[in-house]
Structure 1
């Protein structure tokens, strides 16, 4: 992992906390939330305020996420909105935190000028006991206040001001007036500058969770389903529950809900280059298992590796090669069924609100593409990375640092962005695809 950290591929974009004032505020908030403090004077935090260094010190990587369900957060600066979320348990958590910060940025900027804002992503479940409980996590509410209770006191002051304005004898209530003055010293003038946080309730519709060995829940679709990566749960109140070996059923689910499209159908992307890179990754996986030096490879080297290790190349490689020949040379249209190991490598998410979640699922179904795995499912990338041969670790880390880190937005757009068709003529592939579905594998019977 040191290689990834040095190249900015792990713990990148964390916010550095070194000011004694910020450390002291962090400790007040941490004490308020978890009854703990840190002795560190220098550490980094993610968007939620979680620090990997503090996690190591406390020997608890979930010190801000008890039971992995109701994630707590500490905001020291609104700049945390640009940071990643570590130890992800739900795919929606970072989006909720970022949207909350952006919707309340001015208020949070003012509040964090003098104190830390501490809070929690609250739902109706305190602890998950069965997969069925996940379907109760439909609404997430953000509860937040400063460690000193500024918002709570501001609300109290607003109530006292209202009493002062409406109650007949309030002008003569010395206790009320004194309490108003004392509270206003901490909150400021709430009549001119009301301190309120808005947009604190979020719908959690379709999502991924790390719980129960990894589940993708799609209850909010025309054809709902759950896709489990571990043991198949038997108590889910959804008719269709698929495991990773049920490739045809998963393919039908994705097709019925119009969630995917073939890469060769995608607009505004170089499909041939994407397919070639996927083939290169499969070549690297085969060569790395043979303990081959993978440094300084060019295109001719990659072809040589593929030839020399042809017997080690996975079947997915040959399916992608057929598709690449069709896309570049007008070769024969390949019939790649959902049973074919190349099938999920040939797809990307369609332009729907579930795009990121579907790309995450596809990355897990096509794990030999480390670029998509890193971009779409970092938790799984880090987990699988630890088991790779050293040669593959070095190659992938160098590739990601060279090809992805320098232009993250551009790389995502090239791989997963969506543009409308402006040409109207693309070698007739639309006609073929419309006739046979993505690859002719998924019937609608």
Structure 2
């Protein structure tokens, strides 16, 4: 992982902790949560307060997720909202933490000015025994307070104030008044400076989890589905269409019926020819390195020469993507490519909407040789595959990501996937006429067959 770290592609944008005040607050919080402290004089933390350096020192990279339990967090500053989330096994966790910080920012700013805020994210589910239990995950709640219990102390004072205001004889209750004065010394003036955290409940209708080998749970569409990375983990779940990544034709049909993906070549604002050309380059480089064919610096001309030497070993994805690339540049007849073609999922991107990032993550698993999309949308899988690559492939991929992503992350994401979706959109994707023809609205009547895709009618039956 050294190459990724040196290029700022791993552990980037973390918050540095090096002041004596922050070090003291962090150790106080760490002791409350784990019973341990760090002796480091400087380290970096993510949005949840997790530090890879502290994890390495403690010999426990899960020290804020003990024994697979709920994710705990430490907030030293509201600026943590801009940091990434490391070691995430649930796709929505970073967004939930960011929203928690943003929606309670004034309160948290006041609290972190004098103490660290600690807490945990609770899914309200006691245990996940089988994949079917994932259907019960619908909300995440956050329980938080300072190490000095300022929120709890403020709530106690608030309850006393409410009692004082509601009782007509409260002015003569010397005991209540004395208790209020004493409590105010601990919590401060909660009327002028309230410290109640109001936004602590978050819905999670759609998510990816690393549990059970990796599962996508998607409810916010016309036909809810669970899609399993490993077919052996797949089980029937009431109320969901259940598929695995091996069910390529059925997954393609589901994406089409729910208007969740579109061909890059038809996407508004996309430079389809450039995107397809880059995907071809990534696939050729991956194949050449696997075959031991020299690619030099990995330039386009060198990759073309490497492709000419592959002969029958030329990747199956190249034919379909090359046909699409020629169509994007020169026009002509629409290439006939169906969901049985290895190029099919490489030529798609998610449609705009709240599900965009999750669907792009799913597409990256179906088209894993596009290393740039894989890195952007599914870092856990990228890091897993990266560890098994030879050094030459690591050098090539890191160089590509450093040049074509790290220099302009936001611009690259918009070029590949479109503008950021409007997160206020809710509900299922609209039925609409798209590249696959009119969307099938009557789901009970929709057969799981190879779709007549944007590149022509599929051949064959179900697989």
**What is the deviation of 1:104?**
1.0
Pairwise CA distance, 1:410: 0.3
After the TM superposition, which of the residue ranges 39-48 and 113-122 deviates more from structure 2? 39-48
1:120–1:144 CA contact under 8 A, matched in 2: yes
Q: Secondary structure at the match of 1:414?
A: helix
Alpha-carbon distance between aligned partners in 2 of 1:60 and 1:419, rounded to the nearest angstrom: 36
1:205-259 deviation digits (Å, cap 9, x = unpaired): 0110001000011234211211101223325224521112110000011111110
1 CA distance for matches of 2:236 and 2:23? 45
Name 1:267's counterpart in structure 2: 268
In the superposition, the TM-score normalised over structure 1's length comes to: 0.92
Q: Distance in 2 between matches of 1:75 and 1:340?
A: 48
Distance 1:5 1:43 in 2: 15
Match of 2:96 in 1: 96
Distance 1:150 1:272 in 2: 57
**1:369 Cα offset (Å):** 0.4
Q: TM-score, structure 2 length as denominator?
A: 0.89
- Tell me if structure 2 keeps the 8 A contact 1:226–1:238: no
Matches within 5 A, 1:269-348: 269-348=270-349
1:188 is the counterpart of 2:204: no
Superposed displacement of residue 74, structure 1 = 0.8
Task: Work out whether residues 296 and 302 of structure 2, in 8 Å CA contact, stay in contact via their aligned partners in 1.
Answer: no
Question: Equivalent residue for 1:440?
Answer: 456
Matches within 5 A, 1:416-431: 416-418=417-419
Q: Distance in 2 between matches of 1:197 and 1:306?
A: 59
Q: How does 1:354-393 map to 2 (within 5 A)?
A: 354-393=355-394
Stretch moving more, 430-439 or 219-228? 430-439
The change in CA–CA distance for 1:76 and 1:309 in structure 2 (over 3 A counts) is: same
2:326 & 2:344 partners in 1: Cα distance?
Answer: 16
After superposition, the Cα gap between the structure-2 partners of 1:220 and 1:330, relative to the gap in structure 1 and judged at 3 Å, is: closer
The 10-residue stretch of structure 1 (367-376 or 321-330) with the greater mean CA deviation from structure 2: 321-330
Q: Name structure 2 gaps, 5 residues minimum.
A: 422-432, 439-451
CA distance in 2, matches of 1:107, 1:391: 50
Kept after mapping to 2: 8 A contact 1:291/1:391? no
Bigger shift: residues 304-313 or 88-97: 304-313
Residue pair 1:69, 1:128 contacting (<8 A) in 2 also: no
Q: d(CA) in 2 for partners of 1:310 and 1:189?
A: 77
The answer for the alignment partner of 1:257 in structure 2 is 258
Equivalent residues of 2:243, 2:251 under 8 A apart: yes
Which residue number in structure 2 is paired with residue 425 of structure 1?
Answer: none
> Alpha-carbon deviations, 1:304-345, whole Å to 9, x = none?
122122433210111101111111122432111111111100
Match of 2:43 in 1: 43
The Cα shift of 1:287 comes to 1.3
Cα RMSD of the aligned pairs, angstroms, is 2.3
Question: Counterpart in 2 of 1:219?
Answer: 219
2:34 is matched with which residue?
Answer: 34
Partners of 1:182 and 1:432 lie apart in 2 by 69
Change in 2 beyond 3 A, CA 1:138/1:280: same
Q: What are the superposed Cα offsets for residues 155-181 of structure 1, whole Å, 9 maximum, x if unpaired?
A: 111122233334355434444333323
Deviates more, 1:8-17 or 1:221-230: 221-230
Q: Give 3-state SS (helix, strand or coil) of 1:406's partner.
A: coil
Partner of 2:424: none
- Tell me the matched-pair count: 436
Structure 1 unaligned spans of 5+:
421-429
Deviates more, 1:118-127 or 1:302-311: 302-311
CA contact (8 A) 1:9 1:401 kept: yes
* Structure 1 residues 431 and 17: alpha-carbon distance in aligned structure 2, compared to 1, 3 A threshold: closer
- Pick which of 171-180 and 380-389 moved more: 171-180
CA distance in 2, matches of 1:383, 1:5: 15
**Distance in 1 between the 2:98 and 2:3 partners?**
28
Partner SS for 2:376: helix
Instruction: Name the structure 2 match of 1:202.
Output: 202
Compute the displacement of 1:12 (Å). Answer: 0.7
How big is each residue's C-alpha offset from its partner over 1:42-98, in whole Å with a ceiling of 9 and x where there is no partner? Answer: 211111111112222222222212354521111111111111111111111111110
The Cα of 1:433 is off from its aligned counterpart by: 6.0
2:124 match: 124
Q: How does 1:91-170 map to 2 (within 5 A)?
A: 91-170=91-170
Q: Is the 8 A contact 1:316 1:341 kept in 2?
A: yes
Superposition map of 1:59-70 within 5 A: 59-68=59-68, 70=70
1:33 to 1:213, Cα distance in 2 relative to 1, 3 A:
same
- The CA deviation at 1:418 is 4.8
Say if 1:240 and 1:403 are closer, same or farther in 2 by CA, change over 3 A.
Answer: same
Q: Which is further off, 167-176 or 146-155?
A: 167-176
Q: Structure 1 CA distance, aligned partners of 2:420 and 2:81?
A: 27
